[in-house]
């Protein structure tokens, strides 16, 4: 009987993990992570033709998911805001804000923040000055490889959501204005 309980428990864990993995995209994820390549080995979906399009950023998991309704249609490795201690609650949280936002008009090929001395390519805004963009660059447009190697592994940005170069170019060039963006821990 104990053996049967163990077998059933293992099966439930496996089935549960499959249900919780968005659309089984784990099998399409590029490994090892390469900030110079797309996150998945399959073609990008056409976002202009995607019904009920929305984007979910999971800060703790360093992933950004593109959905059509309840179905995940593409998964990207991402790295968002660095972690810092909240002075009020004394909990550690990302400097990237959580909540529900929308993609708005600001987008382009390169953006630079002189205060941070950081730039990025292929950006699209989702909350004021918060953007989806490539891994960061220096003022001379060179990717900062030490930061790029954190993609999909740990937080690295001052608040924006960093993506691989091809993923950022695709998203900035194809996501429609008004697309819902949900950022969660």
Identify the CA nearest to 134 among candidates 26, 54, 31, 39.
39
Active site residue 142: no
Q: How far apart are CA 162 and CA 153, in angstroms?
A: 12
Catalytic residue among 90, 104, 133, 141: 133
Structural element, H or E, at residue 163? strand 161-163
Active site residue 133: yes
For 178, the token pair is 């008004």
Burial 78-96 (b: 16+ CB within 10 A, else e): bbbbeeeeeeeeeeebbeb
Task: Report the catalytic residues.
Answer: 133, 160
């Amino acid at each position: 009987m104990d053996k049967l309980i163990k077998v059933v428990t293992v099966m439930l864990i496996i089935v549960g993990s499959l249900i919780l993995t968005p659309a089984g995209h784990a099998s399409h994820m590029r490994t090892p992570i390469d900030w110079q390549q797309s996150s998945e080995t399959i073609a990008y979906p056409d976002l202009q033709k995607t019904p009920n399009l929305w984007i979910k950023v999971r800060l703790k998991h360093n992933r950004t998911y593109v959905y059509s309704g309840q179905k995940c249609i593409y998964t990207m490795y991402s790295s968002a805001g660095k972690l810092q201690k909240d002075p009020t609650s004394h909990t550690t949280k990302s400097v990237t804000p959580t909540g529900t936002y929308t993609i708005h008009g600001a987008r382009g090929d390169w953006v630079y923040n002189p205060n941070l001395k950081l730039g990025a390519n292929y950006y699209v805004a989702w909350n004021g000055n918060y953007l989806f963009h490539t891994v960061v660059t220096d003022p001379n447009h060179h990717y900062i490889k030490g930061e790029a190697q954190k993609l999909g592994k740990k937080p690295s940005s001052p608040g924006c959501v960093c993506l691989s170069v091809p993923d950022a170019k695709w998203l900035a060039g194809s996501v429609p204005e008004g697309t819902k963006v949900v950022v969660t821990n």
